[in-house]
Structure 1
Protein backbone atom coordinates (compact mmCIF):
# COMPACT_ATOMS: atom_id res chain seq x y z
CA UNK A 1 0.00 0.00 0.00
CA UNK A 2 1.37 3.39 -0.93
CA UNK A 3 1.93 6.09 1.66
CA UNK A 4 -0.96 8.22 0.38
CA UNK A 5 -3.34 5.22 0.40
CA UNK A 6 -2.31 4.33 3.95
CA UNK A 7 -2.78 7.94 5.00
CA UNK A 8 -6.23 8.08 3.34
CA UNK A 9 -7.41 4.86 4.97
CA UNK A 10 -6.20 6.04 8.36
CA UNK A 11 -7.93 9.39 7.91
CA UNK A 12 -11.26 7.97 6.69
CA UNK A 13 -11.38 5.19 9.26
CA UNK A 14 -11.60 7.83 11.99
CA UNK A 15 -14.30 10.01 10.40
CA UNK A 16 -16.85 8.68 12.87
CA UNK A 17 -17.17 6.07 15.58
CA UNK A 18 -18.17 2.75 14.02
CA UNK A 19 -19.66 1.42 17.26
CA UNK A 20 -21.93 4.46 17.52
CA UNK A 21 -23.11 3.98 13.94
CA UNK A 22 -23.74 0.26 14.50
CA UNK A 23 -25.76 1.01 17.63
CA UNK A 24 -27.78 3.67 15.78
CA UNK A 25 -28.64 1.24 12.98
CA UNK A 26 -29.54 -1.56 15.38
CA UNK A 27 -31.84 0.73 17.39
CA UNK A 28 -33.68 2.31 14.44
CA UNK A 29 -36.18 -0.14 12.86
CA UNK A 30 -36.25 1.84 9.60
CA UNK A 31 -32.54 1.06 9.10
CA UNK A 32 -32.78 -2.70 9.77
CA UNK A 33 -32.40 -3.50 6.08
CA UNK A 34 -28.70 -2.65 6.48
CA UNK A 35 -28.34 -5.68 8.73
CA UNK A 36 -29.85 -8.14 6.21
CA UNK A 37 -27.54 -10.15 3.97
CA UNK A 38 -27.42 -9.05 0.33
CA UNK A 39 -29.30 -11.35 -2.01
CA UNK A 40 -28.49 -10.83 -5.66
CA UNK A 41 -31.33 -11.39 -8.12
CA UNK A 42 -31.26 -14.52 -10.22
CA UNK A 43 -29.90 -13.95 -13.75
CA UNK A 44 -33.21 -15.00 -15.32
CA UNK A 45 -35.00 -12.34 -13.25
CA UNK A 46 -32.66 -9.59 -14.46
CA UNK A 47 -33.13 -10.07 -18.20
CA UNK A 48 -36.34 -10.16 -20.14
CA UNK A 49 -37.02 -13.31 -22.12
CA UNK A 50 -38.08 -11.17 -25.09
CA UNK A 51 -35.98 -7.97 -25.12
CA UNK A 52 -37.64 -6.61 -28.28
CA UNK A 53 -41.08 -6.86 -26.72
CA UNK A 54 -39.77 -5.33 -23.47
CA UNK A 55 -38.31 -2.33 -25.35
CA UNK A 56 -41.49 -1.84 -27.39
CA UNK A 57 -43.58 -1.93 -24.22
CA UNK A 58 -41.26 0.57 -22.54
CA UNK A 59 -41.30 2.89 -25.56
CA UNK A 60 -45.11 2.77 -25.89
CA UNK A 61 -45.45 3.59 -22.20
CA UNK A 62 -42.99 6.51 -22.35
CA UNK A 63 -43.48 7.91 -25.86
CA UNK A 64 -45.84 10.68 -24.74
CA UNK A 65 -42.97 13.17 -24.69
CA UNK A 66 -42.80 13.38 -20.92
CA UNK A 67 -39.98 10.85 -20.70
CA UNK A 68 -37.88 11.65 -23.79
CA UNK A 69 -37.71 15.42 -23.38
CA UNK A 70 -35.93 17.48 -25.99
CA UNK A 71 -32.69 19.14 -24.87
CA UNK A 72 -33.67 22.67 -25.88
CA UNK A 73 -31.06 24.26 -23.62
CA UNK A 74 -28.25 23.57 -26.11
CA UNK A 75 -29.22 26.50 -28.35
CA UNK A 76 -29.10 28.78 -25.31
CA UNK A 77 -25.74 27.41 -24.22
CA UNK A 78 -24.27 27.45 -27.73
CA UNK A 79 -25.88 30.36 -29.63
CA UNK A 80 -23.30 29.99 -32.40
CA UNK A 81 -25.28 26.94 -33.55
CA UNK A 82 -28.14 29.24 -34.59
CA UNK A 83 -26.03 31.56 -36.73
CA UNK A 84 -23.49 29.16 -38.23
CA UNK A 85 -25.45 28.59 -41.46
CA UNK A 86 -25.13 25.75 -43.97
CA UNK A 87 -21.45 25.09 -43.30
CA UNK A 88 -22.09 24.09 -39.70
CA UNK A 89 -21.63 20.48 -38.72
CA UNK A 90 -22.81 18.98 -35.43
CA UNK A 91 -21.96 15.45 -34.35
CA UNK A 92 -24.20 13.75 -31.84
CA UNK A 93 -22.64 10.59 -30.49
CA UNK A 94 -24.79 8.23 -28.53
CA UNK A 95 -27.59 5.73 -28.72
CA UNK A 96 -30.45 7.90 -27.59
CA UNK A 97 -33.64 8.93 -29.29
CA UNK A 98 -32.34 12.15 -30.84
CA UNK A 99 -33.57 14.45 -28.09
CA UNK A 100 -30.34 16.45 -28.36
CA UNK A 101 -30.06 16.78 -32.14
CA UNK A 102 -33.71 17.33 -33.05
CA UNK A 103 -34.10 20.77 -31.41
CA UNK A 104 -30.93 21.95 -33.17
CA UNK A 105 -32.14 20.67 -36.55
CA UNK A 106 -35.51 22.35 -36.18
Structure 2
Protein backbone atom coordinates (compact mmCIF):
# COMPACT_ATOMS: atom_id res chain seq x y z
CA UNK A 1 0.00 0.00 0.00
CA UNK A 2 1.34 3.46 -0.97
CA UNK A 3 0.97 6.28 1.56
CA UNK A 4 0.59 9.83 0.28
CA UNK A 5 2.48 11.98 2.79
CA UNK A 6 2.00 15.62 1.91
CA UNK A 7 2.51 18.45 4.35
CA UNK A 8 4.81 19.16 7.25
CA UNK A 9 5.50 17.07 10.31
CA UNK A 10 5.20 18.45 13.80
CA UNK A 11 9.01 18.56 14.14
CA UNK A 12 9.37 20.59 10.94
CA UNK A 13 6.75 23.07 12.14
CA UNK A 14 8.51 23.42 15.51
CA UNK A 15 11.82 24.09 13.78
CA UNK A 16 10.24 26.80 11.63
CA UNK A 17 8.65 28.38 14.73
CA UNK A 18 12.03 28.27 16.50
CA UNK A 19 13.74 30.06 13.60
CA UNK A 20 11.02 32.74 13.48
CA UNK A 21 11.26 33.23 17.26
CA UNK A 22 15.04 33.66 17.12
CA UNK A 23 14.72 36.20 14.31
CA UNK A 24 12.12 38.16 16.30
CA UNK A 25 14.28 38.10 19.42
CA UNK A 26 17.13 39.59 17.41
CA UNK A 27 15.05 42.22 15.58
CA UNK A 28 12.73 43.61 18.27
CA UNK A 29 15.37 45.05 20.65
CA UNK A 30 17.16 46.57 17.68
CA UNK A 31 14.00 48.30 16.49
CA UNK A 32 13.13 49.54 19.99
CA UNK A 33 16.60 50.96 20.55
CA UNK A 34 16.44 52.93 17.31
CA UNK A 35 12.95 54.26 18.02
CA UNK A 36 14.20 57.11 20.25
CA UNK A 37 16.80 58.20 17.71
CA UNK A 38 14.19 58.19 14.97
CA UNK A 39 11.81 60.33 17.04
CA UNK A 40 14.60 62.80 17.84
CA UNK A 41 15.47 63.13 14.14
CA UNK A 42 11.77 63.71 13.48
CA UNK A 43 11.78 66.46 16.09
CA UNK A 44 14.74 68.17 14.44
CA UNK A 45 12.90 68.12 11.12
CA UNK A 46 9.73 69.45 12.79
CA UNK A 47 11.69 72.32 14.37
CA UNK A 48 12.93 73.29 10.90
CA UNK A 49 9.36 73.17 9.60
CA UNK A 50 8.13 75.38 12.44
CA UNK A 51 10.85 77.95 11.73
CA UNK A 52 9.98 77.95 8.02
CA UNK A 53 6.28 78.39 8.74
CA UNK A 54 7.07 81.18 11.20
CA UNK A 55 8.98 82.97 8.44
CA UNK A 56 6.06 82.56 6.05
CA UNK A 57 3.69 83.93 8.70
CA UNK A 58 6.00 86.88 9.34
CA UNK A 59 6.18 87.67 5.61
CA UNK A 60 2.40 87.45 5.21
CA UNK A 61 1.31 89.15 8.45
CA UNK A 62 4.25 91.47 9.15
CA UNK A 63 4.87 90.26 12.70
CA UNK A 64 6.50 87.35 14.48
CA UNK A 65 3.99 84.62 15.35
CA UNK A 66 3.36 82.57 18.44
CA UNK A 67 2.76 78.84 18.22
CA UNK A 68 -0.97 79.39 18.79
CA UNK A 69 -1.12 81.86 15.90
CA UNK A 70 0.60 79.35 13.61
CA UNK A 71 -1.87 76.64 14.56
CA UNK A 72 -4.95 78.87 14.36
CA UNK A 73 -3.77 80.27 11.02
CA UNK A 74 -3.44 76.77 9.56
CA UNK A 75 0.33 76.93 9.21
CA UNK A 76 0.81 73.97 11.59
CA UNK A 77 -1.44 71.21 12.90
CA UNK A 78 0.12 70.81 16.35
CA UNK A 79 2.79 72.19 18.65
CA UNK A 80 4.45 68.90 19.62
CA UNK A 81 7.42 67.00 18.28
CA UNK A 82 7.05 63.32 17.35
CA UNK A 83 8.80 62.53 20.66
CA UNK A 84 6.01 64.37 22.53
CA UNK A 85 7.86 67.51 23.66
CA UNK A 86 6.20 70.89 23.28
CA UNK A 87 7.60 73.47 20.85
CA UNK A 88 7.92 77.20 21.35
CA UNK A 89 9.15 80.06 19.18
CA UNK A 90 11.81 82.35 20.66
CA UNK A 91 11.90 86.12 20.19
CA UNK A 92 14.50 85.70 17.45
CA UNK A 93 12.14 83.41 15.48
CA UNK A 94 13.94 80.16 16.28
CA UNK A 95 11.87 77.14 17.26
CA UNK A 96 12.97 75.08 20.25
CA UNK A 97 11.74 72.33 22.53
CA UNK A 98 10.25 73.40 25.85
CA UNK A 99 12.50 72.05 28.58
CA UNK A 100 11.12 70.55 31.74
CA UNK A 101 8.27 68.58 30.07
Q: TM-score, normalised by structure 1?
A: 0.27
Taking CA–CA contacts closer than 8 Å with sequence separation of 6 or more, which of the two structures ends up with the larger relative contact order? 2
Higher strand content, 1 or 2: 2
Q: TM-score, normalised by structure 2?
A: 0.28
